[in-house]
């Protein structure tokens, strides 16, 4: 499972996206699951990072899901019209 930091705003987005991309490459599982439970302070950049991670995972032939997404992050995904792309982990 891939874990994101407690703070994910515009200032941390590029570094977090790189970290997740590297972790994806070392992950041998067919499903990439991001654990969003650590998130405490975030902005819409968190959505962008998750979408980038999803794109990377799909390009590698993996499925993608987000576990433990905070309610505010789910609301942002709905506002931006991308909630169907950030499905919860089973």
Domains by residue range for the chain, with CATH: 2-85 (3.30.750.24)
Burial letters for 39-76: b for 16+ Cβ neighbours within 10 Å, e otherwise? beebeebbbbbbbbbbebbeeeebebbbebbeeebeeb
pTM of the model: 0.94
pLDDT digits (tens, 9 = 90+) for 10-66: 999 999 999 999 999 998 999 999 999 999 999 999 999 999 999 999 999 999 999
- Which pLDDT tens digit goes with each residue over 17-31? 999 999 999 989 999
Long-range contacts of residues 59-63, Cβ cutoff 8 Å, at least 24 apart? 60/24, 60/25, 60/32, 61/30, 62/24, 62/27, 62/29, 62/30, 62/31, 62/32, 63/30, 63/31, 63/32
pLDDT the model gives residue 90 = 75
User: pLDDT tens across 70-82, in order?
Assistant: 999 999 999 999 9
């Amino acid at each position: 499972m891939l874990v994101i930091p407690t703070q994910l705003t515009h200032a941390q987005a590029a570094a977090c996206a790189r970290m997740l991309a590297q972790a994806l490459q070392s992950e041998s599982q067919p499903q990439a699951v991001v654990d969003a439970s650590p998130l405490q302070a975030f902005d819409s950049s968190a959505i962008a990072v998750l979408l980038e991670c999803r794109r990377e995972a799909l390009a590698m032939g993996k499925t993608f899901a987000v576990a433990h997404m905070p309610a505010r992050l789910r609301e942002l995904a709905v506002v931006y019209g991308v909630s169907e792309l950030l499905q919860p982990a089973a």
